[in-house]
Amino acid sequence: MDLRQIEELLPFYALDALNDEEKELVEAYLKEHPEARQQIEEMGSAVSALPYAVPPVDPSPHSKEALMKRIAADQRAASTTRNQPSRPRGLRFENLFSAFSLGAAVIAILWVIVLNGQVTRLRNEISALNNALVAQSNELEQINTKLSQATPSAVITVSLKGTDVQPQAQGQLIADPSSQSAVLVIVGLTPLEAGKTYQVWLIQGETPVSAGLLKVDANGQGVLVVSSETPIGSFDALGISVEPEQGSLQPTGDIVVLSAL
C-alpha cells in the first residue's frame, strides 16, 4: 500500500472503522509523518460529536440497579480478598475458630472440586482405554478368523495373557510349532518411558532365550516376528519383560506377559 492509499485511510481511522491490519499501517504512517496527526485530531473532533447525533434514551431504573448490585458484589469480593491476609493478630478465640472453620471449608470445597475433576478425568481415560481394548480384541478375533481360514492346519494360535503387573495385556502367538519363527501380536501393553523397551522371551524349562525386542505404539499395540534357533514347539512358555532399550541377556525387569505354549 503506497502513501496515498494510506492517507485515504485516515478518515476511517478517525471513525474507528479499519481492520487491525489497516490500523497498524496508519499508526506506522503517523509515526513517520507526525504532521498527519493534525488531520486525525481534526477529523477525530468531528467523530467525537457523533455519539450525540442519536437521541438520548432514558434507561430503565432496573439497568442502574443491576449494575450497582454487580459493582457492590465486586467490591465485597475485593474487600474480602484484601482483608484476609491482614487480620489483627489479637483475634478472639471465636473469631479464630470461625476463620479456621471458614478456611477449612474453603479448602474442603476446593479439594472436592479438584477430586471431582480428577475422578471425571480418570473415568474418561478408563472408558477410552476400555473402548480401545474392545476394538483391538475385535481386530485380533478377525485376524485369527482370517488366519485360520488362510493357513494350513499345522499353524496354531496360542493366547497370551498379562501378568498381575499389566493384567490388561493380551495377545496371540501364531506359529507352526515345527518352524523357527512365529508372529506375536500383542495389545494393551502400557507404553514405556524413554530408555525402556519390551523384550520377548521363549522359555524352555527355566531357561529364557531372547526372541527379540518388541515396540508398542501409543495404544500399547505391537507386532513382532519371533525367531528362534530351535523350533517354536520346543519351548514351554513365552514371556515379555521390561528391559533397558538395548535389551538384556536375561530378564531383569517386570514380567508383564507370561503364558504357556
Partner 1 sequence: MARNKNATGVSMRSNNESSVLHSHEDMAVEQLSDEILAAQVARGESHALETLYDRYASTVLGISVKIMGDQAAAEDVLQETFWRVWQSAASFQSQRGSFTGWLFRIARNLAIDAYRRRKIRPRPITDVDDSDSKIDQTPDPNIDVAEQSQLLLNHKQVLSALATLPRVQRQVIEMAYYYGMTRQEIAEATGEALGTIHTRARLALQKLRAELQRDESKD
Stretch that binds partner 1, among 12-20, 113-121, 188-196, 211-219 (CB under 8 A): 12-20
Closer Cβ to partner 1, 44 or 253, answer by number: 44
Tell which positions 50-89 bind partner 1, by CB under 8 A: 50-64, 66-68, 70-72, 74-75, 78
DSSP string, 202-238: EEETTEEEEEEEE---TTS-EEEEEE-SS-GGG-SEE
Closer Cβ to partner 1, 44 or 191, answer by number: 44
Q: Which own/partner pairs from 47-55 qualify as long-range (CB within 8 Å, at least 24 positions apart)?
A: 47/14, 47/15, 47/16
Per the CB < 8 A criterion, the answer to whether 159 and 141 are in contact is: no
- DSSP tag of 162: B
Closer Cβ to partner 1, 62 or 89, answer by number: 62
* Side-chain-side CA neighbours of residue 25 (13 Å): 17
Q: Which of 6, 10, 184, 240 binds partner 1 (CB under 8 A)?
A: 10
The residues pairing with 183 across neighbouring beta strands, listed in sequence order, are: 174, 225
Tell which positions 144-173 bind partner 1, by CB under 8 A: none
Stretch that binds partner 1, among 8-16, 106-114, 125-133, 159-167 (CB under 8 A): 8-16
Closer Cβ to partner 1, 73 or 104, answer by number: 73
List of residues contacting partner 1 (CB under 8 A)? 8-12, 14-19, 42-64, 66-68, 70-72, 74-75, 78
